[in-house]
A and B are shown apart, each in its own frame.
Chain A
Amino acid sequence: MRKPPTLLSLTIDIALLNLSHISDLSFLPDHVLLELFLRTLRAGKLTEKILKLFVATGKDEILSLISELNIQLILTPVLPTINIRDDEVDIVIGALHLDLTSFMEDWRAVFSRFHLIIVQDPDLKGDLKIPGGFSFDVYTKSDIESVVGSSSSSVVFSGYSCRYFGYLVSHKKYIISIDDDCTPAKDDKGELIDAVAQHITNLMTPATPFFFNTLYDPFRKGTDFVRGYPFSLRSGVQCGLSCGLWLNLADYDAPTQALKPGQRNSRFVDAVLTVPARAMLPVSGINIGFDRELVGPAMVPAFRLAKEGKFRWETVEDIWSGMCVKVICDHLGYGVKSGLPYVWRNERGNAVESLKKEWEGVKLMEEVVPFFQSMRLSQGAVTAEDCVIEMAAAVKERLEPLDPVFARASEAMVEWVKLWKVVTSRLSNFAA
């Protein structure tokens, strides 16, 4: 026979139903008060007014519970409503091909509501072909030279690095950048992925770098922090960088792709996760988003291989800037996320040819990665600019003796920060 509810239980139920009419709870014995509080939580009836009622009792157990559960009187939503204000985003495209028609048409549904900054690779001769119906600005070699001055030798905006010029001249908060040989991918349900919206979601929701959540991004719908996740770490930190992935042609290096010419990435992994603090990762520039206000100066176009080419296999500039951003985010307390969104990366180039031409990048990683893993910034470095300058000095001191590419990198990082300060102040004076 099922036990009938206790008188106490029934009383608490009635109290819960009439909670809005109760003005004072301090007369309740502690254990009853606690039970009522828990049932209020369970029933989803904890409003600001009712919370104040409980707090007013002054009972220790209630106050501790409120504090530990991180319930705050001023109820700010955990997730800001993801309202993408179109005027907060710039989509920066580095044009390594003249005819952008099919690229832009493929992305029209996603790109058309935003402003685009299209930077033409200064080595690419001719005029860009861009279809109508977009809001965009084009920057060519002459534009770059008029802003930067043709004498600046250390910061080079050619090849894939042309996009950094776009980062420089933008004055928006969020930048999304996608290689011009990528098209929208489909998810596991066959629906087209809005890569821009996903990057913005990643950037606008907190990151959790200090403790790994085994259910990945706890701010995604349908999931949360798991048992054992410290409550004090559950508000997270701002996300500075969002690293997306690629279906079809994954971002492998030349040796790997040459060894496995048929290998294509067909696995859609439905996750975004924060890369933990102090863990380094190879950031691929093919599909990224970042908060320009937080980490813009850290996205440095500094690491140019001697024989850098026009295929991703022949570059590592993004790996370098990505690790700069990671070290700086770790230091300043921001997060870096990796995972969704996916883009579809199309076939281009020949890995074996690239391997014959350029394998320096692969060799240099052996020095680069340990450098970034052990890089520590001083307490005095409180802005991204400060951090880059410190890192440039460390590169000069520790890596320069190993290869001339590092001397150039160090100089470029210093130049870049100078450029950044000049251009951003010029832009804000202009806007004022």
Chain B
Amino acid sequence: MAGVSPTPLLKDELDIVIPTIRNLDFLEMWRPFFQPYHLIIVQDGDPSKTIKVPEGFDYELYNRNDINRILGPKASCISFKDSACRCFGYMVSKKKYIYTIDDDCFVAKDPSGKDINALEQHIKNILSPATPYFFNTLYDPYRDGADFVRGYPFSLREGVPTAVSHGLWLNIPDYDAPTQLVKPRERNTRYVDAVMTIPKGTLFPMCGMNLAFNRELIGPAMYFGLMGDGQPIGRYDDMWAGWCTKVICDHLGLGIKTGLPYIWHSKASNPFVNLKKEYKGIYWQEEIIPFFQAVSLPKECTTVQQCYTELAKQVKAKLANVDPYFTKLADAMVTWIEAWDELNPSGEAPAKTSNVKAK
């Protein structure tokens, strides 16, 4: 392989989805990397507040009123007062790829001191295959300077399409509340120079802070659940989406990568507030994980929507006795798919929503 071809920008094929409640000042630091792209901003909380977007970005912005207007009664599936509302951005996007990032995440530096272009690394991850069927001990074999090791069957070296690229965080690590309480000063300072595919059949905790995915391949599975206002649980939105997505990817033969790129996570949220939100989740998790580990999707489910609808059925059947919340969640999952299909009819030109605000 002579030389390395530059990573394509994909500027007309990728949307950056950002949930926010305060401001978007963090975009200034990202400007050199984000400016070519279209942003979808999902404004949570009070819709009468104006979110200031730095000059020079091309964006569309949706607040709660817009969500209600566009989805009508189906808006009930989109969380309020929780960053889970970001999945509305996935639904209205018309692009092939999505990158989502939190508004307290900044550009990190690699060990040589150079700024990390997180988006470029995500694109590299997503455009190269994943290898979920056999673990490569040198991690992502498609990276420069790496390859498949001895013993790796040649028939598995083509890999499968990568549906999700899960990035990590330096500085404030993504710990749960009990861990935050016990280790308030711990910072993630270890730069692990690896990308790897999560093996088939293995679940993982997907964090939505620094995440990219192929919307065409897996979009409908990225529902971030019912969290926040009026819900008994919070901070499990991305976890839920991750477990659903992994199960569906395993079924459809798609891959999920984790590792690089790193971003710099600057804000530690209040651990007591977090504990209240996560409290039930910590217990429920113990039932939810065995549920996902045992899930089996029928082979007739060949599209993401079919898989997801089937998953919703199984959630209702098997998790309802854990808490009535899961019945609500299962219904919301169905509503989500209905809304997704409405806004993204297959075979037709995508319907344009009247919310595009050009720069």
Interface residues of A (CB under 8 A from B): 38, 41-42, 44, 64, 68-69, 188, 211-216, 220, 222-233, 243, 245, 250-253, 256, 260, 263, 265-271, 275-284, 312-313, 316, 319, 338, 362, 365-366, 369, 373
Are A284 and B166 within 8 A (Cβ)? no
Are B174 and A227 within 8 A (Cβ)? yes
Instruction: Report how far A313 CA is from B186 CA in the complex, Å.
Output: 44
Are B193 and A256 within 8 A (Cβ)? no
Within 8 A of A (CB), among B260-299: 271-272, 275, 278, 282-283, 285-286, 289
| Given A243-B137, A252-B147, residue A216 in contact with residue B183 (CB < 8 A) | no
Are B282 and A365 within 8 A (Cβ)? no
| Given A41-B181, A281-B134, residue A267 in contact with residue B151 (CB < 8 A) | no
> Which residue of chain B has its CB nearest to the CB of A313?
B150
Our pick among B150, B176, B285 for the contact of A253 (Cβ within 8 Å) is B150
> Which residue of chain B has its CB nearest to the CB of A260?
B147
What is the total number of residues of chain B having a CB less than 8 Å from a CB of chain A?
67
Q: From residue A240, how far is it (CB to closest CB) to chain B in Å?
A: 16
Given A224-B186, A245-B138, A270-B193, 12 new contacts (CB under 8 A)? A41-B182, A215-B168, A228-B205, A230-B285, A251-B149, A253-B151, A263-B145, A265-B145, A267-B145, A270-B192, A284-B149, A316-B151
Are B151 and A229 within 8 A (Cβ)? no
Q: From residue B271, how far is it (CB to closest CB) to chain A in Å?
A: 8
| Given A214-B168, A245-B138, A280-B134, residue A365 in contact with residue B147 (CB < 8 A) | no
Which residues does chain B contribute within 8 Å of A267, judged by CB atoms? 145-146, 193
Which residues does chain B contribute within 8 Å of A253, judged by CB atoms? 148-152
> Which residue of chain A has its CB nearest to the CB of B195?
A269
B343 lies within 8 A of chain A by Cβ: no
Within 8 A of A (CB), among B162-214: 166, 168, 173-176, 178-179, 181-184, 186-194, 198-207
B153 lies within 8 A of chain A by Cβ: yes
| Given A212-B198, A366-B155, residue A252 in contact with residue B150 (CB < 8 A) | yes
Our pick among A214, A227, A250, A369 for the contact of B235 (Cβ within 8 Å) is A227
Are A284 and B201 within 8 A (Cβ)? no
Instruction: Report how far A270 CA is from B198 CA in the complex, Å.
Output: 18
> Which residue of chain A has its CB nearest to the CB of B239?
A228
Q: From residue A195, how far is it (CB to closest CB) to chain B in Å?
A: 15
| Given A68-B283, A269-B194, residue A279 in contact with residue B203 (CB < 8 A) | no
Instruction: Report how far A280 CA is from B182 CA in the complex, Å.
Output: 35
Which residues does chain A contribute within 8 Å of B54, judged by CB atoms? none
Which residues does chain A contribute within 8 Å of B135, judged by CB atoms? 275, 279-281, 338
Which residues does chain B contribute within 8 Å of A280, judged by CB atoms? 134-135
Are B134 and A282 within 8 A (Cβ)? yes
Our pick among B137, B152, B178, B236 for the contact of A228 (Cβ within 8 Å) is B236
Are B147 and A222 within 8 A (Cβ)? no
Which residues does chain B contribute within 8 Å of A283, judged by CB atoms? 137, 151
